[in-house]
Structure 1
């Protein structure tokens, strides 16, 4: 039986621009579709069955927008660019994007800017009332607005004003304002990829030194199926600050990849990935895709707090233990909450300094297992043991090794109190939020609904861990020390 393909629609202006600039796309195989905002907005759907390994589209390297491909850096001057510290973090790329968009039709990316979002639902743009709905969550402290505005005032605006030949003074407020800076930064946060640099790249170009912003939306992985090399979908921060990670960071560049950034993402739904080839980047199917199915990229299976902060949406999926949410949700526990939760020793600052010098983190991430149960992270147990047990602290200091992640009664008491304090930081309880969700989320404002989902996910993780700690503590205090410690074993380091 022959396969009858659906008729092709008239080529949209963006795709016409994409093809005119060397982009390759099979319009018989995929289609760009408008979805409701709650479902990710515009996305890409398979028009026919796509087998595993088939390329969906290819993006020429010259069409990738970065500080390497934009002419701005060369016109500004390589040495001057570095002196202005525009190679640090995202400042340079944001400035390139402002400049390219201001050029209008003269820019090679004019057709690309026409389809980029001009409005975001991320908390960066929320008012005070909506931000109050996020009280207690990890989102507010990570918005980065203060640092972004500092970078704009100290690096970007002076650079703009120093070169009226490049940045028309009459257009500064319209094209290069702080509001436009935030807009371009949000585009990078939600749509960018992290790509490998070419071997002959200048050492100072796009280096990550001084970068206080979060990772880009999609990165580049090392393992590569022949013949291409896979573009990473996972941002690994476990080794942040190490010499190895510094070298790796200097070897990558954050960039905008037209068309690739149109793909939506959903938890564990990825069916394509971006791969390197010498002259282009190819989006290749990693599993069979049926006609009519959406083509999903990956945002690293992020928790709802990160999805909301970076992309302005949340996942609302069935959970292993019942109910809905994001199976990848996490909750953060700061070290200062643990310190305040117990009777802090007199030398608490010395203990914390030692912990940090030995490579420990000051924020611990709690997550649930696939079955929805809690398992205490080893680094959290070790740090709490350091605070709560003088003997453990003395042994660790003398031997120069981290304390063993033992679920001792003193450590569990501190943890139980800290988890209670952490839950108390929210304005509502999980029971209240659950009742509110059951009453009808469809009637809620979008921002309030998203904040509710984020709160529920974090509280679910915290309450599961507090229940776990309470059970272990009861077993210890009831004489079941060996049993309790055995049950607490096998935890892993919390992800960052």
Structure 2
């Protein structure tokens, strides 16, 4: 069954061109126009690579014309060719008004730059925009009908993340973006003062922008703002990628990280992304079991609920409330937090270990913990890699198992039903793209959770 699922592609279905009459007509060959533009702006593409719609997992991608060796330069984008709040034609205004454009996302200046450049008849980035996906056909779940989103992605964490996004987008647009555009009507035509368009551009920035990492000594600073990197954003993502982006003072360089045979697609990495994150932020998934970065979440409040259900009487429940409050003070848990479980390791090892330890303590152990204001390191028992789980204390394993069972109840279907569909080629092929993608998200999470059930049983 797993090998059958592995062959299936569920990358996002996107077109080219645009909506709202904003993205310029790509003409008969948008790739040729883009490559000509690259030459004019000094964007260097290796002769060993080609931009193509054929032979790629989704939309445009980049293929190897001939064999590429690890370490070879695939493309180099001069910083002047980047599209950002600093390089756009209204960069000076955005810099002067930066105080009024602050928002929790930090994306408003770039989004305003895109809104302006898309409607500017002589924008220097017009050939770049011609390779953008069609804005009206973006497949992020934020564009799905709410009922369909909840039906297909219930239990995965995606609907909740989307609802937060939509609320933040509406708030940001009406409180910051629209007032700024209305204050500068000569720069923003009425057709771009649209919440619908703004939401589409948020999705584009979410899926295609890059964020330059901070230097190690600057870790306390605010993150760098996002920027658009022409050519680099053509590369699709897989967990087992063969290229990555490097930053230097003069340019951004995409470099091969392993040999790439002739005719193979060149893949970047968007980070260690679980399938639910890929679905939420990028509008595609990797079919099981390709995404080695896949994870499943156990909500922190679910562990609390499992502990309360196992309590014997009011006295034990009162003790559990005290312990939960203690964990909150340690900042190990929170009402909206989650414990993240990967295929091979627990990514929130310290938080989950501490939570299981405190909630499963005897009353005497907890009193001693409070009096000592912490505990000494007990060595192996605090380790919570996947292979260590069967060696945990029985009370810890029981609470973890009960939490997994509660988590599985949040899904609308069980693992067996999804295995039946995945093992039936005809049934799977009859599903819509959204149904296939959502199935892959759910299935990957449930496989991790069922692995936990086996290890805690």
Q: Smaller-chain TM-score range? A: 0.7 to 0.9
Structure 1 residue runs of 4+, over 4 Å off? 347-350, 402-406
Among candidates 54, 63, 85, match of residue 102 of structure 2: 85
Match of 1:431 in 2: 416
Match of 2:454 in 1: 467
- For residues 282-302 of structure 1, give each alpha carbon's deviation from its aligned partner in whole angstroms, at most 9, with x where no partner exists: 212222222111111112242
Give aligned pairs, total: 399
Q: Residues 385 and 408 of structure 1 are in contact (CA less than 8 Å); yes or no, is this contact kept in structure 2?
A: no
1:247-266 aligned within 5 A: 247=221, 249-250=222-223, 252-266=224-238
Helix, strand or coil for the counterpart of 1:309? helix
Distance of aligned partners of 1:88 and 1:328 in 2 relative to their CA distance in 1, 3 Å threshold: closer
1:177 aligns with 2:194: yes
1:316-465 aligned within 5 A: 316-317=287-288, 319=289, 326-343=291-308, 345-346=317-318, 348=320, 350-361=322-333, 362-369=337-344, 377-389=349-361, 390-401=363-374, 407-439=392-424, 440-465=427-452
Greater Cα shift, 64-73 or 144-153:
64-73
Distance of aligned partners of 1:95 and 1:391 in 2 relative to their CA distance in 1, 3 Å threshold: farther
Unaligned stretches of 5+ residues in structure 1: 1-8, 198-220, 223-242, 320-324, 471-496
Helix, strand or coil for the counterpart of 2:443? helix
Higher relative CO (Cα under 8 Å, sequence separation at least 6) belongs to 2
1:246 aligns with 2:224: no
Distance of aligned partners of 1:99 and 1:158 in 2 relative to their CA distance in 1, 3 Å threshold: same
- For residues 24-76 of structure 1, give each alpha carbon's deviation from its aligned partner in whole angstroms, at most 9, with x where no partner exists: 123x3111121478x22221111112222221111110111111222434224
Distance of aligned partners of 1:419 and 1:244 in 2 relative to their CA distance in 1, 3 Å threshold: farther
Q: Residues 302 and 329 of structure 1 are in contact (CA less than 8 Å); yes or no, is this contact kept in structure 2?
A: yes
Q: Residues 101 and 108 of structure 2 are in contact (CA less than 8 Å); yes or no, is this contact kept in structure 1?
A: no
Helix, strand or coil for the counterpart of 1:45? strand
Q: Residues 115 and 188 of structure 2 are in contact (CA less than 8 Å); yes or no, is this contact kept in structure 1?
A: no
Give the Cα–Cα distance (whole angstroms) in 1 for the partners of residues 332 and 229 of structure 2. 36
Structure 2 length-normalised TM: 0.80
Cα distance, 1:159 vs structure 2: 1.8
Q: Residues 86 and 92 of structure 1 are in contact (CA less than 8 Å); yes or no, is this contact kept in structure 2?
A: no
Match of 1:47 in 2: 65
- For residues 163-209 of structure 1, give each alpha carbon's deviation from its aligned partner in whole angstroms, at most 9, with x where no partner exists: 223323xx2xx213111111111111111111157xxxxxxxxxxxx
Q: Residues 243 and 256 of structure 2 are in contact (CA less than 8 Å); yes or no, is this contact kept in structure 1?
A: yes
Cα distance, 1:88 vs structure 2: 5.0
- For residues 244-282 of structure 1, give each alpha carbon's deviation from its aligned partner in whole angstroms, at most 9, with x where no partner exists: 7432x44x23111000000112121x2222222332112
Give the Cα–Cα distance (whole angstroms) in 1 for the partners of residues 276 and 375 of structure 2. 30
Helix, strand or coil for the counterpart of 1:12? helix
1:76-115 aligned within 5 A: 76=94, 78=96, 80-85=97-102, 89-105=106-122, 107-115=123-131
Helix, strand or coil for the counterpart of 1:365? strand
Unaligned stretches of 5+ residues in structure 2: 1-28, 312-316, 383-391
Among candidates 176, 182, 186, match of residue 165 of structure 1: 186
Cα distance, 1:315 vs structure 2: 1.1
Helix, strand or coil for the counterpart of 1:154? helix
Match of 1:130 in 2: 148
Give the Cα–Cα distance (whole angstroms) in 2 for the partners of residues 426 and 30 of structure 1. 43
Greater Cα shift, 446-455 or 376-385:
376-385
Structure 1 length-normalised TM: 0.74
1:140 aligns with 2:156: no
Q: What's the Cα RMSD here?
A: 2.7
Helix, strand or coil for the counterpart of 2:76? strand
Among candidates 59, 82, 88, match of residue 64 of structure 1: 82
Distance of aligned partners of 1:245 and 1:333 in 2 relative to their CA distance in 1, 3 Å threshold: farther
Give the Cα–Cα distance (whole angstroms) in 2 for the partners of residues 103 and 354 of structure 1. 56
Higher share of residues assigned helix:
2
Q: Residues 384 and 414 of structure 1 are in contact (CA less than 8 Å); yes or no, is this contact kept in structure 2?
A: yes
Cα distance, 1:90 vs structure 2: 1.4
Match of 1:186 in 2: 203
1:116 aligns with 2:132: yes
- For residues 220-242 of structure 1, give each alpha carbon's deviation from its aligned partner in whole angstroms, at most 9, with x where no partner exists: x97xxxxxxxxxxxxxxxxxxxx
Match of 2:212 in 1: 195
- For residues 100-150 of structure 1, give each alpha carbon's deviation from its aligned partner in whole angstroms, at most 9, with x where no partner exists: 112132x22122112111221111111134211111112111122212222
Helix, strand or coil for the counterpart of 2:220? helix
- For residues 454-476 of structure 1, give each alpha carbon's deviation from its aligned partner in whole angstroms, at most 9, with x where no partner exists: 11111111111122112xxxxxx
Greater Cα shift, 187-196 or 409-418:
409-418
Give the Cα–Cα distance (whole angstroms) in 2 for the partners of residues 116 and 262 of structure 1. 9
